[in-house]
Amino acid sequence: AIGFVLESDSVPCVYVLQVGGDLQSDLSITSAWTYPNQRSQTSVNTVKSRIGMPRDGLTTVKVEIVGTVGIITLARGKHNAWTGRMHTEYRQALQYLEKHARVRVIVVTGQGSRFCVGADSRALETHVQRGGYDSGVDETTVARPGFGVSPHFDANFAFHYGLSKPVIAAVNGAAAGVGLVLACYCDLRFVASSAVMTTAHGKLNLPAECGLSWVLPRVVGLTRAMDLLLTSRRFTAAEALEMGLANDVVADEDLMPRVLAYAQNLAETVSPGSLAASKRQVYLDQHRSVGEAVIDADTRLSKMMTEPDYVEGVAALTQRRLPEWGRTHKPKGQPAKL
């Protein structure tokens, strides 16, 4: 199933479509509801639409759009265990939402009561049988969201840092191994109170996965990162909050409403340009000096003050109203010098 929002909607509304085969052909709408979960009385017939998703459909992730927020749900069985197909489909979904003009913030969560328990156990057994690692991903054809911004980001999971839109992890349950990796590469993390997490790799004679040895110390500090990486112990949502890994811990049933409200607030009150610039600055600055960061900030400041959303931001501030990003204002003469 895939969700989308019709352009004519006056309120955010998710339409859930049952897809069979070719996504470029007819899509039958099976249900619809408005956020947060009210059934819509709208009657919609079969829709023909090109929505830019894979022709064969998605089997391990779901994609929805609620207002200006895109949602990717890991949806593979009870545990949402990671496979090469899920990795491929996740990147396809991420690229679709990155390019979608309506979407300003992306949320990643898991189906059911788990976020992602790590690699599929059968895939691990396959690695043993083959005598080595097989990602199951065709790097010649897989989507490349976030690539091309910086060589530092042109790698698995690091590509999140090249995206222009904030990505929020709604960790709704267990996150282990690559599941924890995915959460750590998101820009923000909200965690369900019952969730338990672990790096997991140490129990399998593996190294810290996918650059987690670089990410985790920057998120929680070197000492705490070493504890989690060396022991591969389980830790709770409360610990994640205390060590700075989680932005907030929320009752399980309140997690998605809380995350969607936060995401919608970002989309409404902060300009898309500022969201993109702030994210880009933070991750590029991890690889350069403070002087280079200042020069880049000054360059961006000069450019962004000439853009329509700066004019709109000032107007909204002085008129004490919510901004309408993308709105065009007629010029009123030369801007004042600072």
Predicted TM-score (pTM) of the model is 0.82
Closest CA to 66 of 260, 229, 247: 260
Report the SS3 class of residue 53: coil
CA 126 to CA 158: how far, in whole Å? 26
- Express each pLDDT in 72-96 by its tens digit: 999 999 999 999 999 999 999 999 9
CA 157 to CA 185: how far, in whole Å? 7
Determine what percent of the chain is predicted with pLDDT higher than 90.
73
Compute CA distances 78 → 146, 190, 237, 253, 319, whole Å. Answer: 29, 21, 20, 18, 50
DSSP conformational letter for 307: S
- Express each pLDDT in 101-127 by its tens digit: 999 999 999 999 999 999 986 665 554
- Band of residue 53 on the pLDDT scale cut at 50, 70, 90: low
Q: What is the pLDDT of residue 137?
A: 83
Q: 16: which residues sit within 8 A by CB, 6+ positions away?
A: 1, 2, 3, 29, 30, 31, 32, 64
Q: What is the mean pLDDT of residues 203-219?
A: 97
**CB of 186 within 8 A of CB of 208?**
no
